[in-house]
Amino acid sequence: MPVTYKKIASVTVGSGGASTIDFTSIPGTYTDLVLKFSTRTNRAGAVSDDVYISLNGVNTGYSGRILQGSGSAASSFSDTPNPWKFLAITAASNATASSFGNGEFYLPNYTGSTNKSASFDSVGENNATEAVQRLSAGLVTITSAITSIQVDGGNGDFVQHSTATLYGISKS
Amino acid sequence: MTTKLVVDCSTGVVEEIELTEEELAQREADRVAFEAAEAERVAAEAEKAAKRAELLAKLGITEEEAKVLLG
């Protein structure tokens, strides 16, 4: 990791699984935040699953644009005005055994007093034709400092060995 | 039991907490909203592809020929 990255916290899902991973009491001492995740869900009958990322416990006011590749087609779509929060992707039950999706969520100026924008990329990972990946930019109408981030396993629960790590980035 | 992992970044302490009824309802609402929107998007793409195929058939040209024509 570059020297400007500092690990704030990291978590690994245990044998019982978890529906969401919540980072709380995030210190306001950095300029940007980066969340990296390596996850897989138990969503049945699918090779990939959605990941919803939300801030400060807010469930509305999210918008964004998503570029998506499925392995057989490319598309783009808006997530406005649906309450999906920030929409990413990960691996699910029908993905290659023991493979995990991964993603990075970048949140600049998270302590500012204006709406928060974010950019993020994610991929489902699957050793077959269908392997969904998404590149996204989004905005949420939260003007207070961000103190919590929730990562939600969409249509399933995160399985054991899924991990999420939050980094703080300082001015270099 | 449906649980969430809560990481307190000020202490590093990780807690496993059962989801509340409200949180469970929110998860279900998110899932239903996405499925509906996704179905709408896929249907719109299929309709667009069908209209394109119909137009190409009327013109009597292939997809490749249409690209050359418009390129």
Q: Name the residue among B9, B19, B33 with its Cβ closest to that of A25.
A: B9
**Interface contact flag, B31 A152, Cβ < 8 Å:** no
Which domain range does residue A31 map to? 5-169
Confidence of residue A79 (pLDDT cuts 50, 70, 90): confident
Q: Which residue has the higher pLDDT, A84 or B4?
A: B4
Which of A47, A50, A121, A38 has its CA nearest to residue A83? A50
Number of structural domains chain A divides into: 1
Is the pLDDT score of A3 beyond 80? no
Give A171's DSSP letter: -
Mean pLDDT value of segment A145-164? 95
For residue A126, the domain's CATH number is 2.60.120
**Interface contact flag, A17 B3, Cβ < 8 Å:** yes
Is the pLDDT score of A84 beyond 80? no
Q: Which residue has the higher pLDDT, A82 or B14?
A: B14
**Interface contact flag, B4 A19, Cβ < 8 Å:** yes
What's the whole-model pTM score? 0.87
The alpha-carbon gap from B71 to the nearest alpha carbon of chain A, in Å, equals 20
Query: What is the ipTM, given to two decimal places?
Result: 0.90
For A115-133, how does the pLDDT look when each residue is reduced to its tens digit (9 = 90+)? 999 999 999 989 998 899 9
**Interface contact flag, A25 B41, Cβ < 8 Å:** no
Q: Strands (DSSP E) along A61-132, which ranges? A: 62-69, 74-78, 86-91, 101-108, 116-123
Q: Does B44 touch chain A (CB under 8 A)?
A: no
pLDDT for res B70: 86
